[in-house]
Structure 1
């Protein structure tokens, strides 16, 4: 099972000091977090994409390329790449190039994002969000899988005899996750192609998460990619830990109260009761996280948000040390002990996809040119 951290790159001032990091400090901090992730034995680092304050990272591939040069083992991903407002041609080019730079240590999570104004900034209409996600991904898949593409759609100019460069490393595209919090059409899209489905699992209760994952699993089996319990699932989550749970609550409360995503709403106690946010001791985090599989079934990737809401870098690095040394080793052992032999323990990686391709198998990458319309997902 893969474990990692994801970040949204927010520039929230530290509520205990009032100090806001500069853009240079925030970008440098993200690199330090990624390097720490590798140092403490985590598997994945993922960065979000935003084009508005209070966020700093608008170009995930630029940051991940820098991180690739400073790491050796860490898998690089996104949380999320905006499939709705990015040109699929640029996505095909940029992530294939990142594949080459990182030696294949890359996958990506596609999503629609949670910032409505981003659509007109890039010439799109939010009312077309699902249709854009469907059409753009159809094209992205073809650009990675076909050397010469002739294509015509609704939202961009046609392509005639177009070849995306560079071609994917070893002619194998990056593995794709489809990220969604509440949109069943996205779970359907992931299932249709046999891709991974990632539920952010931060803002909603576990019952909602379970319903979304169950839909994806059921449709994954329907489309003939394998048994429902073999579908590739990832979950998010958020934690803050100290040796003593009371200390964790006391230290994290001022950051929670001003968080740009969930601050100024339910209390910390209400949020930790009703969502997967866990603030307490490492043992409490272990016990809470282990319950996720009871709700959604055995899954392949667990990601944690740990640097949100103005937390200083020194605190974030401490949190990662606890995560890597006290929490994840126990979770690995416990999750694998309960996993049936026929259920994959890890998501596909570049190495396993290349191996499957050489063996003549199709490791959940679906047909080469299979397309689906937005109407088919409704």
Structure 2
């Protein structure tokens, strides 16, 4: 089981002080948060991709390349790589380059994002969002697996005899998760390729998450990649933690009430009941997180959103310290509940070992 954090990189005023960090401060804070994630023993740091205020991570590979140089073990990922508005050739080359620089510590989450105007900014039509996601990923999948590619589709000019450079490290493309909140077509796409499916899981009730994951598992098995239980599943989540639950609620409430996404809507208590948001003590976070398995089955990656809504860097680093303290318990409890034969999340090392094993068998 992998544990990590993901950031959307929002630049949001702190509602308790009224201060808004500069873009430079927010970017530097994200780097420090990633470094701290490794220090406390987490497995993954993921950054979002946005091209509009109030967000700063418009160039995920730039940020992840910098983080790669300052970490040793951390898997570097994305919480969304915009498969609809990025050119697949550029994705293929950028993330292969990052693979080499990071010695394979790279995977990524393909998604459509949550900002409608981004489509015309990059010359695309939002009404074609799903077809773009399907066609662009089919092209990317081919670019990473074939040295010379001929390609013709609906949404871009054809390729003839094209080679993306550099080639993936050891001939192994980065592992891909397909991220979605509500689109079964994306779960279907993940299942078709035998890729991972990551459900955002922070805005919707557990029943919705369970339906989406179950659909992906069934289709994964349908396409012959293994049993439904062997499908590769990731979940999002979010928490705010203090040693005392009352202190957590009191401190987090102004941030929740003024958050850009869900502020001025349901109360903190209502939202915590209706979604996986957990605001409370370390034990409450442990218990709530362990409960996710009850409705999605054994899964491979748990990512938390903790640096949003204007929370200052000092507070986020304190949250990471607390997460580091409960991490051994989460690891041991998930492991104790895990059904035999449940696969681990693929990594570059495990995919390389599998490739070498298959090569040995065929020799």
Relative to the length of structure 2, the TM-score reads 0.98
Whole-Å Cα distance in 2 between the matches of residues 161 and 100 of structure 1?
A: 24
Residue in structure 1 matched with residue 283 of structure 2 by the alignment:
283
Tell me the alpha carbon deviations over residues 231-266 of structure 1, each in whole angstroms, 9 at most, x when there is no partner: 000000000000111110010011011111211211
1:360: Cα distance to partner?
1.7
Give the alignment of 1:214-233 within 5 angstroms: 214-233=214-233
Whole-Å Cα distance in 2 between the matches of residues 91 and 42 of structure 1?
A: 26
Whole-Å Cα distance in 1 between the matches of residues 151 and 70 of structure 2?
A: 38
Tell me the alpha carbon deviations over residues 106-144 of structure 1, each in whole angstroms, 9 at most, x when there is no partner: 000000001111001111111100000000000001100
Give yes or no for the alignment of 1:28 onto 2:32: no
Residue in structure 2 matched with residue 351 of structure 1 by the alignment:
349
1:302: Cα distance to partner?
0.3
Residue in structure 2 matched with residue 316 of structure 1 by the alignment:
316
Whole-Å Cα distance in 2 between the matches of residues 202 and 147 of structure 1?
A: 39
Residue in structure 1 matched with residue 146 of structure 2 by the alignment:
146
1:151: Cα distance to partner?
0.4
Q: Secondary structure at the match of 1:334?
A: helix
Tell me the alpha carbon deviations over residues 176-202 of structure 1, each in whole angstroms, 9 at most, x when there is no partner: 000000000000000010000000100
Report how many residues are paired.
Answer: 359
Give the alignment of 1:257-268 within 5 angstroms: 257-268=257-268
1:79: Cα distance to partner?
0.4
Tell me the alpha carbon deviations over residues 11-64 of structure 1, each in whole angstroms, 9 at most, x when there is no partner: 001011111111110110001000000000000000000011110110100000
Q: Secondary structure at the match of 2:358?
A: coil
Q: Secondary structure at the match of 2:246?
A: helix
RMSD in angstroms over aligned alpha carbons?
0.7
Whole-Å Cα distance in 2 between the matches of residues 261 and 160 of structure 1?
A: 44
Tell me the alpha carbon deviations over residues 59-101 of structure 1, each in whole angstroms, 9 at most, x when there is no partner: 1000000000000000000001000000000000000000000
Q: Secondary structure at the match of 1:54?
A: coil
Residue in structure 2 matched with residue 368 of structure 1 by the alignment:
none
Tell me the alpha carbon deviations over residues 341-365 of structure 1, each in whole angstroms, 9 at most, x when there is no partner: 2111x2100011111111228xxxx
1:205: Cα distance to partner?
0.3
Residue in structure 2 matched with residue 242 of structure 1 by the alignment:
242
Whole-Å Cα distance in 2 between the matches of residues 261 and 8 of structure 1?
A: 12
Tell me the alpha carbon deviations over residues 160-218 of structure 1, each in whole angstroms, 9 at most, x when there is no partner: 00000000000100000000000000000000100000001000000000000000000
Mind listing any 5+ residue stretches in structure 2 that lack a counterpart? none
Residue in structure 2 matched with residue 365 of structure 1 by the alignment:
none
Give the alignment of 1:37-56 within 5 angstroms: 37-56=37-56
1:331: Cα distance to partner?
0.9
Give the alignment of 1:1-378 within 5 angstroms: 1-325=1-325, 327-344=326-343, 346-360=344-358
Q: Secondary structure at the match of 2:161?
A: strand
Whole-Å Cα distance in 2 between the matches of residues 324 and 153 of structure 1?
A: 47
Residue in structure 2 matched with residue 367 of structure 1 by the alignment:
none
Whole-Å Cα distance in 2 between the matches of residues 166 and 263 of structure 1?
A: 44
1:147: Cα distance to partner?
0.3
Q: Secondary structure at the match of 1:216?
A: helix
Larger displacement relative to structure 2 (37-46 or 255-264): 255-264
Whole-Å Cα distance in 1 between the matches of residues 157 and 265 of structure 2?
A: 43
Mind listing any 5+ residue stretches in structure 1 that lack a counterpart? 362-378
Q: Secondary structure at the match of 2:104?
A: coil
